[in-house]
Homo-oligomer: A and B are copies of this chain.
Amino acid sequence: MTVSAKPPSGTRDFLPADVARREHVVSMIRRAYERHGFVPLETPTMERIEVLLGKYGDEGDQLIFRVLKRGEKLEVTAESTPDDLADLALRYDLTVPLARVVAAHSGSLPRYFRRYQIQPVWRADRPQKGRYREFYQCDVDFVGSTSIVAEHTVITAVTDALAALGFGGFTIRLNDRRVLTGIMDVAGVAEAERGGILTAIDKLDKIGIDGVRAEFVERGLNETQIAALEPVLAAISASEHPEASSTLLDQFGALLSPSAAGSAGIATMRELFALLSAAPVAAGRVAFDPSLARGLSYYTGPIFEIAVDGLSGSMGGGGRYDGLVGMFAGKSIPAVGFSLGLERLLVVMEERGMYPDVRRGSDVVVTRLDAASTEACLGIARGLREAGVRCEVFPDLDKLGKQFKYAEEIGARWVVLAGERELRDATAVVRDLLTGEQTTHPLSQLAEYVRSVVGGR
């Protein structure tokens, strides 16, 4: 055997117990998204490479899995670049495909396209603990409205999903891209410098306040400018003290009053903060955090993250990006989105024992005692399935002990025994492997009895 049987680096096989857990989580998220009126979209695994290139920055372009051209289309020379050799690429996120779909199907989409999409994406990142090359995103996007109802809807869809999964304690951190713009306005940071400064602020939780200050100096800000940015750094703890949000909103409202963008951002924050706080589940759990920056390349308005109590980092985030969805349609289309990362949710739920019983597989194994009973055993299984019971017939003629052992191995709690004597009497024995209890039933009442103890599916 020369070929390794392992899956490719950074990818995983999901055995049945894994699939059951993943499907439980996905199904709860879907149902929450659907309660909020979102509808499912699925796009192809591959996109034409020109659809993806240039959308994720240079670093992103490097991480795209490219698919080789085929047949005569593939011309190889010593100078061929990866982009010469590839015409397709694997989906890198779910937002660019959404933008493409909005352009391709504009005639078939309703005025507001409220779609969710739960599919894998692929990034050729260095694999490490908890970070994979194939992983799922659970995105919800509200396309077509500038109303704050859109922000409110995607955020509550996500908090509803988390609550349904059993996460009682979470915090919604809010900021607005225009608040950050306002701060730059007030501090007099030149347009060209703003991206770098925002990147520095984004690292606040990794490198700390002193680290960010040092970056400000490195990037050539003077003392007055750094002093003007201090309130942002001071606000780092805002998300841990949601009760401070009202004060912070007032403070930043005053601070940013000279900036039109900043004032608009604060007004939106006040409104969103109030609307979100009105829901009992979110009361006391919404925090205005002016230090929240996120990857700011395409956000244009409110941005948000959800953190779960007791965990560092966020379970997901999003924001308003009014410039992106229209890129293939050639016009501006407003949109707000939120992306939950499935893998992190699964790890945390596993660690905290948050899974209900999601076992699949037979509840009942019909044992086989001799070749003559095969047809009868298959008939018994058919009757159980018609009653909605998950069951299987043991395939080989093996000692009864081995058949019981197999039933235990797959987690089936019950076995049915129908030997020569039982079949002559038109009966079968049901044995509960957990309690050892055995009962005998007429074949005509067997399915009903088993269904009553096992439950139908």
Contact = CB atoms under 8 A, between A and B. Distances in A.
A97 to B, nearest CB: 8
The residue among A40, A275, A391 with the most chain B CB atoms within 10 A of its own CB is A40
A367 B226 CA distance: 47
Contact of A35 (B16, B51, B105, B385): B385
Given A110-B410, A145-B395, A410-B110, A375 B6 contact: no
A153 interface: yes
A448 interface: no
Interface stretch (A79-87, A242-250, A260-268, A415-423): A79-87
Contacts of A39: 16, 19-20, 360-361
Contacts of A15: 41, 101, 105, 108-109
A51 B4 CA distance: 8
B37 A362 contact: yes
A213 interface: no
Interface in A15-70: 15-16, 18-20, 22-23, 31, 34-37, 39-48, 50-51, 62, 65-68, 70
Contact of A86 (B68, B150, B156, B160): B68
A7 B406 contact: no
Interface in A379-427: 379, 382, 385, 388-397, 406, 409-410
Interface in A313-372: 328-330, 360-362, 368
A13 B104 contact: yes
Contact of A120 (B7, B14, B45): B45
Interface residues of A, number: 111
A76 B37 CA distance: 50
Contact of A1 (B4, B70, B329): B329
A269 interface: no
Contact of A51 (B3, B31, B70, B114): B3
B76 A124 contact: no
A74 to B, nearest CB: 7
Given A3-B328, A76-B78, A275-B378, A16 B37 contact: no
A278 interface: yes
B457 A44 contact: no
A369 to B, nearest CB: 13
A439 interface: no
Nearest to A64: B70
Given A3-B50, A44-B12, A328-B3, A85 B112 contact: no
9 contacts: A5-B329, A6-B104, A7-B47, A22-B42, A85-B85, A110-B410, A111-B406, A149-B378, A150-B395
Interface of A: 1, 3-8, 11-16, 18-20, 22-23, 31, 34-37, 39-48, 50-51, 62, 65-68, 70-71, 74, 76-80, 82, 85-86, 88, 90, 100-101, 103-105, 108-112, 114-115, 120, 122, 124, 134, 142, 145-150, 152-153, 156, 160, 274-275, 278-279, 328-330, 360-362, 368, 374-375, 378-379, 382, 385, 388-397, 406, 409-410, 457
